[in-house]
Structure formats: structure tokens, C-alpha cells
Amino acid sequence: MRVEHARMHAKHRGHEAMHAEMVLILIATLVVAQLLLVQWKQRHPRSYNMVTLFQMWVVPVYFTVKLHWWRFLVIWILFSAVTAFVTFRATRKPLVQTTPRLVYKWFLLIYKISYATGIIGYMAVMFTLFGLNLLFKIKPEDAMDFGISLLFYGLYYGVLERDFAEMCADYMASTIGFYSESGMPTKHLSDSVCAVCGQQIFVDVSEEGIIENTYRLSCNHVFHEFCIRGWCIVGKKQTCPYCKEKVDLKRMFSNPWERPHVMYGQLLDWLRYLVAWQPVIIGLVQGINYILGLE
């Protein structure tokens, strides 16, 4: 027994120092990568957003094929097909009048589905942790797998749709002409036109609409309620589509039942870093360890 113990110590001698080096490499890589990503995002936001969106769209597919998660792959193909059609419509010039509504309806639908799916998944995980799954005679591993799967679906497609929606919102708004990412808009906005979709506003701000209301921002520009909500929440814009004045989301969503949607959107923005860049950083760390002979 002593001989085997001595052999084990001899075999693993120096591993503590090796593990310490690997931890230092991981920390240094995370810090440097974060600094580079922040600088890239600040200096070249368009290319950063496009590369991040591409990685979020493609990287999970590699793991699903490798691990044979066919259900996720089928849902991904359906989502990609419809989103590709919607994105194609949003980037056409001239822009069809019905396209902005189509785009915001689709991404708002996905946003709500992802929100509900994430909440159900979170509740399933919490119920399992508290043992409530036993009341329904469900095995803990099955209940936990169900909850984590729903949580992953909700968060992943929530992150993905917001980035696609932001890209489509930029294209459509610049095509309509009331919005310019840099510089002045190419068209003058009248009081009876919504700058998001370019359509007429028929309901006064003080009136109660049958389908939707009209919303006035603090800069006094008016919009269709669904349009400005889609612009701010789904499209991730927090400025007026015309004059770029800061939008007060707390004032816009004064109803306490609506505030979780704002918080959920902020959570998705934070998670996109983990979905898009974390696998790349971990792969880079493993490559560095391999080159240095650390195993």
C-alpha cells in the first residue's frame, strides 16, 4: 500500500504548480479577452454585433450535431427559416409598407415565447430543488433535465431574436428615412407619422385606441405604441428613433407587470457574451495550455 501511495505521489509530482499555471492562464485570458471585446465594441460596434450574432447563431449548432440533440436542431432550422425570410423583407429597398409591422410582430412573438419558456424552465428547476416534483411522481433527473432544457431554449432564442431584431430595426429605420445611425435623418417627421414604421397615426395621444394607443416620448415625438415598444424592448434601442433623445424606460413601462420584460431584456444582453464568446475563450485557453504542454 505504501509503495502504491509513493508511486502515485511521484506520478503527480509538480501537478500543483501546473494547475496554478493553468488557472493563471485562464484568468489572464479572460481579462485580456474582455478588454479587447470592450474596445472592439466601442470602436467598431457594427462588426462586433455582426460577428457576435453569427457566433450565437452557428456555435450551438456544432454542439447539437455533435451531441445528437435533434429536437433543438429542428427548432433551430424552423426559427432560422422564418427569421431569414423576415430579415430578407426588412433589408429590401424600397421597403414594403407592411414589412415593419411584420418584422416587429415576429420578433415580439419570439420574445414573448422565449420569456414564457424561460420562466417555466426556471420554475421547473426550482420545484425540483425543493422536491415538489415527487408530488407528481416525476424523477428528479427528468424534472431537472426538463427545466434546464426549457431555460436554455428561452434564453438562447431570446438572445438571438433581439440581435436579429436590432439589425432589422436599423435597416428598416434607415430605409424609411426618419432615422440615421450617424448624422441627420433624410426626411422631416410630421406629427401624424410614426418614425418607426413610416405609417400614419390615426389615434390621438389622449384617446384610447381599439387596437393600440399612441405614445408620446419626452421629446414630444409620437409613435404607435407597439412600434415604440418593439423599438425599445425587442430592437434594444433606448433613444428616440428620430431625434435620438434618451428614452426613459421606467416612465414608458410604469405598469409593474411590464417591468420584468425590461429586466429580462437586460439579462439577455448580458447572456449574449456567455453564449457567443465564452466557448471561443475556453477554446483559446485550451490551445494555449496545449502549446505550453500543460495537461
What domains, with CATH codes, occur in the chain? 47-176 (no CATH), 184-260 (3.30.40.10)
Contact 187, 177 (CB under 8 A): yes
State yes or no: pLDDT of 65 exceeds 70.
yes
Residue 165 banded pLDDT, cuts 50, 70, 90: confident
Q: Which residues contact 215 (CB under 8 A, 6 or more apart)?
A: 205, 222, 223, 224, 225, 228, 229, 252
State yes or no: pLDDT of 75 exceeds 70.
yes
Contact 103, 172 (CB under 8 A): yes
State yes or no: pLDDT of 26 exceeds 80.
no
User: Is residue 148 classed exposed, middle or buried when 0-12, 13-18 and 19+ CB atoms within 10 A define those classes?
Assistant: middle
246: helix, strand or coil = strand
- pTM comes to 0.70
Count other Cβ atoms within 10 Å, centred on residue 200: 10
273-291: b (≥16 Cβ within 10 Å) or e: eebbbeeebeebbeeebee
Answer with the residue of higher pLDDT: 292 or 131: 131
Model pLDDT for residues 242-288, shown as the tens digit of each residue: 777 777 666 655 554 455 555 666 666 667 766 667 777 787 888 88
Q: Which residues contact 197 (CB under 8 A, 6 or more apart)?
A: 100, 101, 104, 172, 176, 224, 227
Owner of C-alpha cell 415625438: 221
189: helix, strand or coil = coil
Answer with the residue of higher pLDDT: 258 or 48: 48
Answer with the residue of higher pLDDT: 119 or 56: 119
Q: How far apart are CA 133 and CA 143, in angstroms?
A: 7
Q: How far apart are CA 97 and CA 85, in angstroms?
A: 16
C-alpha cell at 68: 445528437
Q: Which amino acid is at 144?
A: M
Q: How far apart are CA 242 and CA 215, in angstroms?
A: 14
C-alpha cell at 202: 390615426
- For the residues 176-202, what does the mean pLDDT come to? 69
Answer with the residue of higher pLDDT: 225 or 84: 84
How far does the chain reach from its first CA to its final CA, in angstroms?
27
Question: How much is the pLDDT for 266?
Answer: 64
